[in-house]
Amino acid sequence: MNAAVAVDRPTGGSSGPSALRRAIPWIGVAARLALAVVWAWAGWEKAVNPAQAAQAVRAFDVLPESLVEPVGYALPYLELGLAALLLVGLGTRIVAGISALLLIVFIAGIAQAWARGLAIDCGCFGGGGPIAPDQTKYLQEILRDLAFMVPAVWLLFFPRTHLSADAWLAIEGDAYDD
């Protein structure tokens, strides 16, 4: 005779997703919004003075002169576009990847300027260009950009967030199992 063994399930609502699993999409919202603020602030500060943004690009002394102005003038709009996409949560994983790559480029640019002994302000949030050698803040700028990398990397691994166009466009049952 085969007897079925009864298995007691714990009570108290633990059959649903764990608290961490429920929190991940909300942490993602915070990461999206934090990164959106960074890109919006950086982009706006450069967009209001594109000539100064080009001067900041020139100060790094890595691009041919023919590319300095196109990059300096386009960069603010790339940053503002990333901010807008993050704000609405559209293409979150792709935007996070582009953000991470852009931050890596910025970190490499700052590191090479430091290694080459250039005395410049990175122009990351406006301004930029040559400064007095005792005014450089390369380590702080690199650490700041590494901190900005945290929400970008989070969104690479956990791109599905609440309050996003991605969630709205998701196939039913695919994105959120709350």
At 73-90, the pLDDT tens digits run 999 999 999 999 999 999
> At residue 7, does pLDDT exceed 60?
no
pLDDT band at 16 (very low <50, low <70, confident <90, very high): low
Domain ranges of the chain: 22-169
Q: pLDDT at position 146, please?
A: 98
Q: pLDDT at position 91, please?
A: 95
The more confidently predicted of residues 17 and 43 is 43
Distances (CA, A) of 62 to 65, 107, 114, 121: 9, 14, 13, 15
Task: Centre a 10 Å sphere on the Cβ of residue 19 and count the other Cβ atoms it contains.
Answer: 7
> At residue 176, does pLDDT exceed 50?
no
Whole-structure pTM over 0.85, yes or no? no
> At residue 131, does pLDDT exceed 90?
yes
∠ CA(162), CA(168), CA(173), 5° rounding? 85
Sign of the dihedral through C-alpha 119, 120, 121, 124:
negative
Q: Cα torsion for 157, 163, 167, 168, to the nearest 10°?
A: -160
Q: What is the CA radius of gyration of the chain?
A: 22
pLDDT band at 148 (very low <50, low <70, confident <90, very high): very high
Number of continuous H segments (helices) and E segments (strands) in the chain: 6, 2
Cα separation, 151 vs 158, whole angstroms: 10
Burial class (CB in 10 A: 0-12, 13-18, 19+), 86: buried
Q: pLDDT at position 170, please?
A: 76
